[in-house]
Structure 1
Amino acid sequence: MKQYSEERKEAVLRKLAPPMNLTVPEVAEAEGISTASLYNWRKQARERGEVLPSRGSAPEQWSSKDKFRVVVETAPMNEAELSAYCRERGLYPEQVEAWRSSCMNANARTSEEEQRTRQARKAERKRIKKLERELQRKDKALAETAALLTLSKKAEAIWGHNDEDD
């Protein structure tokens, strides 16, 4: 197995990152490195906190995790630093702002939504109770019918078939 220097690994990983956004198979073919090695390097880089999207695609198709990582990285930056960061990674500041807004509003629920959820839950509990009562009633009726059938069979066995109705 070949050993690659850290500088070489970083140079290859930069091809996976924005703005180049090449896919792992493309880089593997161009560099003559196995795809398994590249996937491992990318995984290690992500664990160090680097942004390396899974797909060689447009930033809007990145995973939520990658978008969140960009938001966290850019949070302390001023406008000039954010612009430089975006140019370096092939992003637009508007994209980062939209992602930041989505992150900030991810857990925010309006009281109206919460009330609707509570009402729906209450209605479901009511429906479940009604269905359980109906099931108990039907179980009792079935048990009663089974008992009557058993009694009629016993009576027939004791006294025989009643032919008076024929």
Structure 2
Amino acid sequence: MTYYSPERKAALLKMLLPPLSLTVAEVCRREGVSDVSMYLWRKLANQGSKVPDDLLLSDKWSAEARFAAVLETASLTQLELGEYCRRNGLYPEQLNAWRQACISGQEAVQAQKMADHEQTRKDKKRILELERELRRKDAALAETAALLVLRKKLNDYWGTDDEDN
């Protein structure tokens, strides 16, 4: 079993990152290291990382991973941000675009809430109008029914069967 120093491991892992962005298989073939060891070292190096390990293309990052990257870099200085971007194969412009997307997504949610609130207000107003109209029609129907009952009683009292009188 071959022993590799931490510096050698770091140098091999650095080959996986930009600007080289070699695959694990390529690094193993070039340097004569077993692929199992490389995968283990990469896993240990990225332990606790909230961003994807396997995705070298930032376009393939999930929305959760992008949001996690924005959160991780929110309090970093320019120097730390540059180092973070190099380590994760990103550009600062990408992080800024992701940050703006998070902000605009929040604005869209707030706009949707406002639209929902406005629609709810209109719906309540329409419901009140319909209930008022229903009460008016119920009263008119009750009045018509009362008139018909009175007419029938009047016709019975006078003994006429004529509906036209």
- Relative to the length of structure 2, the TM-score reads 0.51
**Match for 2:15: what amino acid?**
K
Percent identity (aligned): 43
The 3 A distance-change label for structure 1 pair 88 and 32 is same
Instruction: Work out the CA distance in 2 between the residues paired with 1:65 and 1:20.
Output: 26
Kept after mapping to 2: 8 A contact 1:12/1:27: yes
**Aligned CA distance change for structure 1 residues 90 and 46 (closer, same or farther; 3 Å):** closer
- Which consecutive aligned stretches of 4+ in structure 1 deviate over 6 angstroms post-superposition? 112-115
Q: Structure 2: which 5+ runs fail to align?
A: 118-165
CA distance in 1, matches of 2:30, 2:14: 14
- How far the C-alpha of 1:15 sits from its partner, in A, is 1.2
Written as runs of structure 1 = structure 2, the 5 A alignment for 1:26-65 is 26-49=26-49, 53-55=53-55, 57-62=56-61
Q: How far did residue 82 of structure 1 move? A: 3.3
Displacement, 1:12? 1.0
**CA distance change for structure 1 residues 47 and 114 in 2, over 3 Å: closer, same or farther?**
farther
Are the aligned partners of 2:46 and 2:53 in contact in 1 as well (CA < 8 Å)?
no
Aligned AA (2:76): M
Q: Give 3-state SS (helix, strand or coil) of 2:15's partner.
A: helix
Q: Alpha-carbon deviations, 1:11-58, whole Å to 9, x = none?
A: 111111233221111111111111111111111111143867314x43
Partner of 1:18: 18
Supply the AA of the counterpart residue of 2:24. Answer: V
Shift in CA distance, 43/49, structure 1 to aligned 2, threshold 3 Å: same
Structure 2 counterpart of 1:58, one-letter code:
L
Q: Which residue of 2 aligns with 1:74?
A: 73
CA RMSD of aligned residues (A): 3.4
Number of aligned residues: 113
Q: CA deviation at 1:6?
A: 1.1
**Which residue of 1 is the match for residue 131 of structure 2?**
none
Give yes or no for contact 2:16–2:23 (8 Å, CA) kept in 1: yes
Give the Cα separation in 2 of the matches to 1:19 and 1:70. Answer: 20
- Compared CA separation, residues 98 and 34, structure 1 to 2 (3 A): same
Task: Tell me whether 1:96 sits opposite 2:98 in the alignment.
Answer: no
Query: Alpha carbons of 1:84 and 1:43: their partners in 2 closer, same or farther (altered >3 Å)?
Result: closer
Residue 85 (structure 1) shift: 4.7
Larger Rg over CA atoms: 2
Matched, 1:111 2:113: yes
1:83 and 1:46, CA in 2 relative to 1: closer, same or farther beyond 3 A?
closer
Q: Distance in 2 between matches of 1:43 and 1:114?
A: 46
Which sections of structure 1, spanning at least 5 residues, go unmatched? 116-166
Query: TM-score, normalized by length of structure 1?
Result: 0.50
- Kindly indicate whether the alpha-carbon contact (under 8 Å) linking 2:16 and 2:22 is maintained by their aligned counterparts in 1: yes
